[in-house]
């Protein structure tokens, strides 16, 4: 299923935009490490956005072409499992897939993390291509 443009026409609370901006400026070490490899289409030409607001949630990294959200999870996520689960449900209802990666994974093996992201993009791109071939255009 092709993902509709999530960003265009979205009504976003100005306070949420300010918070997203602050989060971009105050990224964790792991987020910064990953962002250096995702930004400027550095991962196989795929465009990622950082700290993107989607349906009132701020996601760490978002690739529209693949319908992929990459979340870098630290200790705080252990305390907010219910919130994260609800957020994942809302994003999934939009046709997005959430890939959760722990801080330590990034610090210990960034190349493995990038391989996982690439594999997910490939899998989602192939699924979207198959769906487009199956679904007749109206």
pLDDT one-digit tens code per residue, 89-124: 999 998 999 999 999 999 999 999 999 999 999 998
Phi, psi of 116 (to 5 degrees): -65, -45
Domains and CATH numbers, the chain: 14-134 (3.40.960.10)
Contact assessment for residue 37 and residue 110, using Cβ atoms and an 8 Å cutoff: yes
CB contact at 8 A, 71 and 87: no
Q: Has residue 12 got a pLDDT over 90?
A: no
Q: Where are the beta strands (DSSP E) in the chain?
A: 49-54, 57-63, 68-73, 97-102
- List, as one string, the DSSP characters of the chain: -PPP-SSTT----HHHHHHHHHHHHT--HHHHHHHHHHGGGTBTTB--EEEEEETTEEEEEEETTTTEEEEEE-THHHH-HHHHHHHHHHHHHTT-EEEEEEHHHHHH-HHHHHHHHHHHHHHHHHHHHHHHHHSPP-
pTM: 0.84
Is the per-residue pLDDT at 44 higher than 50? Answer: yes
Question: How do residues 53-88 score in pLDDT, each as one tens digit?
Answer: 998 899 999 999 999 999 998 876 567 778 888 999
| Radius of gyration from C-alpha coordinates of the chain | 15
DSSP 12-24: --HHHHHHHHHHH
């Amino acid at each position: 299923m092709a993902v509709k443009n999530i960003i265009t026409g979205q009504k976003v609370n100005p306070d949420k935009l300010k918070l997203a901006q602050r989060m971009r400026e105050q990224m964790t070490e792991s987020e910064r490490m990953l962002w250096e490899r995702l930004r400027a289409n550095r991962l196989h030409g795929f465009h990622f956005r950082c700290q993107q607001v989607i349906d009132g949630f701020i996601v760490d990294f978002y690739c529209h072409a693949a319908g992929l959200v990459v979340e870098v999870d630290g200790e705080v996520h252990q305390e907010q499992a219910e919130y994260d689960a609800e957020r994942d449900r809302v994003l999934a209802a939009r046709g997005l897939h959430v890939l959760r990666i722990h801080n330590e994974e990034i610090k210990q093996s960034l190349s493995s993390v990038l391989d996982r992201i690439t594999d997910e993009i490939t899998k989602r791109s192939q699924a979207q291509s198959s769906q487009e071939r199956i679904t007749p255009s109206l």
